[in-house]
């Protein structure tokens, strides 16, 4: 199921041959009041038919520029030429920043192997606490409890699944080990800069301790998946391949800024676009899983469809962006607050909503019992109402993708 039925790219970066990333939903089933106008029924049919669609627009382009000195530029006199510097010492971290980052963080990234009735797979995990606690992706371990962690020093240990959260695609593992090297996790005071160094460390294709580098390409990306919508993601062009899921994305100061979660591709092999869950989300979710065994997030109680110019023109809608409600739980928070099927949500607490993924992301970032102001367009008029969010119903763990 998916919140946003518009095409969106996503394919998990774990090592599975049958892997497919479904689109998730801020989507809770419930009885739906009868739509007041016929076109909503067609919109709902179109929304259901769009499930599972995911296409990444835009091929990657690689351009090389070769520049030479113009002929009419005079060469400096011999006496002005500076002596060539000595070759950089490969062992000097200053000579190779990426190798310095790898030396510091690689000992904190482990391989994860999972056994399922349908087969086996692997991914990565990052040390979270020195007493044997690691974080990985929920989709790496799926519903399996047969998880084994191989540490960089070669130790292979059975892991206990402390908790997993499908909505954030994060899970916490525990192994019987002490004094594990904990990397520096970037906190809320650290905001990655677009264009800054990004280093991905993990076990792609089961190759432990693999390191690739690139840059932070974008921030705040939204990615619909099988269990909801991943929000506020970091986009990177550092090569991320199957098995990198759950590994570390590290900045130029050797701080873990995210946990790699997905690649945008049609083949399961990285093609220049990878995504990572930001460290602030990781630490928040991990702490809740360790304390409560679950993550508590807000619940609105609607199923929606993104409004775009084509849909707006087709159905004569008054706006061409937003999230139109096509299903609603009459006893859920939205229903009790007076929202209706056909309402187009355009704003949550002063933050613009342009897609269903926006709406789902805004709600996922709120807590149960939190009041939010929801602005909608209804029959051409703008209305605002306060909704007290409920608690998201517990979702069963999904099997790890096969392959």
Residue 215 is classified by DSSP as E
Residues 120, 140 within the same domain: yes
Distance CA 297, CA 17 (A): 32
Domain endpoint, select from 174, 201, 229 = 174
| pLDDT tens-digit series, residues 50-96 | 333 333 333 332 222 222 333 443 444 444 444 444 444 544 544 46
Domain endpoint, select from 292, 318, 339 = 292
Cβ atoms within 10 Å, residue 67: 5
Question: DSSP of 233-261, one letter per residue?
Answer: EEEE-S---TT-TT-EEE-TTSEEEEEEE
What total number of domains does the chain contain? 3
Residue 346 maps to which CATH number? 2.30.42.10
The pTM (predicted TM-score) of the whole model is: 0.63
Give residue 264's pLDDT. Answer: 60
Residue 276 lies in a domain: yes
Give residue 24's pLDDT. Answer: 40
Give residue 188's pLDDT. Answer: 80
Residue 139 maps to which CATH number? 2.40.10.10
Element at 42 (helix H, strand E) = helix 38-49
Q: Which domain holds residue 199?
A: 184-292
Question: DSSP of 271-303, one letter per residue?
Answer: -S-EEEEEHHHHHHHHHHHHHHSS---EE--EE
C-alpha 395, offset from chain centre: 18
Give residue 365's pLDDT. Answer: 77
Q: Give pLDDT < 70 ranges for the chain.
A: 1-96, 227, 263-272, 394-403
Active site residues: 139, 169, 245
């Amino acid at each position: 199921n998916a919140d946003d039925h518009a095409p969106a790219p996503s394919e998990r970066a774990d090592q599975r041959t049958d892997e497919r990333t479904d689109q998730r939903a801020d989507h809770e089933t419930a009885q739906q009041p009868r739509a007041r106008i016929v076109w909503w029924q067609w919109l709902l049919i179109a929304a259901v038919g769009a499930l599972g669609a995911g296409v990444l627009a835009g091929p990657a382009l690689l351009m090389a520029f070769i520049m030479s000195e113009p002929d009419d530029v005079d060469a400096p006199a011999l006496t002005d030429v500076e002596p060539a510097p000595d070759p950089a010492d490969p062992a000097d971290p200053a000579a190779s920043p990426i190798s310095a980052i790898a030396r510091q963080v690689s000992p904190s990234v482990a391989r994860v192997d999972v056994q399922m009735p349908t087969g086996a797979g692997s991914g990565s995990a990052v040390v979270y606490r020195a007493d044997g606690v690691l974080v990985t992706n929920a989709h790496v371990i799926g519903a399996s409890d047969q998880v084994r962690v191989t540490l960089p020093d070669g130790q292979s240990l059975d892991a206990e699944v402390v908790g997993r959260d499908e909505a954030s695609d994060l899970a916490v593992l525990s192994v019987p080990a002490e004094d594990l090297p904990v990397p520096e996790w970037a906190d809320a005071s650290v905001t990655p800069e677009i264009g800054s160094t990004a280093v991905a460390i993990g076990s792609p294709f089961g190759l432990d301790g693999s390191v690739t580098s690139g840059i932070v390409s974008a921030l705040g990306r939204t990615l619909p998946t099988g269990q909801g919508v991943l929000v506020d993601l970091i986009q990177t062009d550092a090569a991320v391949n199957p098995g990198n899921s759950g590994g570390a994305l590290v900045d130029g100061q050797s701080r873990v800024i995210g946990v790699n979660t997905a690649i945008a591709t049609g083949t399961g092999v990285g093609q220049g676009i990878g995504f990572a869950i930001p460290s602030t989300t990781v630490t928040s979710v991990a702490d809740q899983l360790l304390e409560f065994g679950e993550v508590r997030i807000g619940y609105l109680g609607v199923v929606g469809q993104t409004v775009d110019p084509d849909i707006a023109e087709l159905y004569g809608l008054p706006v061409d962006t937003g999230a139109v409600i096509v299903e609603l739980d009459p006893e859920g928070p939205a229903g009790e607050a007076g929202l209706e099927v056909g309402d187009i949500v355009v704003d949550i607490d002063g933050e613009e909503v342009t897609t269903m993924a926006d709406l789902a992301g805004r709600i996922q970032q709120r807590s149960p019992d939190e009041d939010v102001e929801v602005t909608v367009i209804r029959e051409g008029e703008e209305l605002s109402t306060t909704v007290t969010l409920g608690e998201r119903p517990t979702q069963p763990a999904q099997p790890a993708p096969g392959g």
